[in-house]
Amino acid sequence: MTEHVVIEDTGSVRLIRLDRPDKLNALTSAMYDALREALAEADGSEAIGAVVFSGAPGAFSSGNDLSDFVEASRHPFENSPALHFIRQLARTRTPMVAAVDGVAVGIGATLTLHCDLVYASPAARFRMPFVELGLVPEAGSSYLLPRRIGLQRATEILLFSEPYDADEAVRLGLVNAVIPADLLLDHALTKAGRLAALPKGPMQATRALIRGDQAALEAAVETEAVAFETRLRSPEAQTAFAAFLNRSRKT
């Protein structure tokens, strides 16, 4: 249990709101556990027809908590709440919608690749700085991103850790629309309501068809996890984590 993930069910829509604004919604192990449980429960429930992910004003999520990465590198990655969440995310059958305001870094960005609909405020800033941190991409992003936007642009985003904003995300086809911040959540909830109102059988069958090769996605998640574990323990990653954490201490 953590107070940093708030679940609110309204009708057939489940809102999963990240609520750790002082750390820009950096995800801890407890938060990953809560997210996984919330998704698994939604998938098992007849009452829930769609899920919305949202964050705090100006912070969708700054990604994995970097002090948690230091701790995670001391344990088998196979047991990590992050990996269990990612596996659940990749196999979730309930349609998912993201409402992204502000920073969406690391898993904060890769999570949105799994969402059926993504809406972003003009202040949204996406970034996948895995290489910069001595890591490799996760959450199936090495599989999903090049297939979505082409290898050339995916290379800039994944190798150079290039950020992209909301307008660019729309151009790339990674975001459906840019919505003013004060209307963003309502917009996402309304779209989720429409998804939830669709007849479940044809909706889920169509969703599976348009998303493509589920087995390949799940295989990519596992391949990434093996490389990720090696990279987590590498001197490059440990140095990058220490640099961020020491910077935080100094400021």
Q: Which is nearer to ligand COA, 26 or 39 (CB)?
A: 26
Which residue in the shown chain puts its C-beta closest to ligand COA? 106
Three-state SS at 97 = strand
Beta-strand runs (E) in the chain:
5-10, 13-18, 50-54, 59-61, 96-100, 103-105, 117-120, 125-127, 164-165, 177-178
- Under the binding rule (CB under 6 A), the answer on residue 106 touching ligand COA is yes
Three-state SS at 116 = coil
CA atoms of 241 and 204, how far apart (whole Å): 40
CA atoms of 114 and 90, how far apart (whole Å): 7
- Under the binding rule (CB under 6 A), the answer on residue 232 touching ligand COA is no
Residues 117-136 that bind ligand COA (CB under 6 A): 129-130, 133
Residue 127 and residue 62 in contact, taking contact as beta carbons nearer than 8 Å:
no
- Under the binding rule (CB under 6 A), the answer on residue 237 touching ligand COA is no
First-to-final CA distance of the chain:
30
- Under the binding rule (CB under 6 A), the answer on residue 29 touching ligand COA is no
Residues 6+ apart with CB under 8 A from 18: 4, 5, 25, 27, 31, 53, 54, 55, 56, 59, 60, 61
How near is the Cβ of 103 to ligand COA at its closest, in Å?
4
Residues 151-180 that bind ligand COA (CB under 6 A): none
How near is the Cβ of 106 to ligand COA at its closest, in Å?
3
The interface region with ligand COA, picked from 4-12, 58-66, 182-190, 221-229 by CB under 6 A, is: 58-66
- Under the binding rule (CB under 6 A), the answer on residue 63 touching ligand COA is yes
Select from 147, 126, 133, 163 the least CA-distant residue to 220. 147
- Under the binding rule (CB under 6 A), the answer on residue 111 touching ligand COA is no
Site string for ligand COA, 66-105 (x = CB under 6 A): xx-----------------------------------x-x
Footprint on this chain of ligand COA (rule: CB under 6 A):
23-24, 26, 62-67, 103, 105-106, 129-130, 133, 244, 248
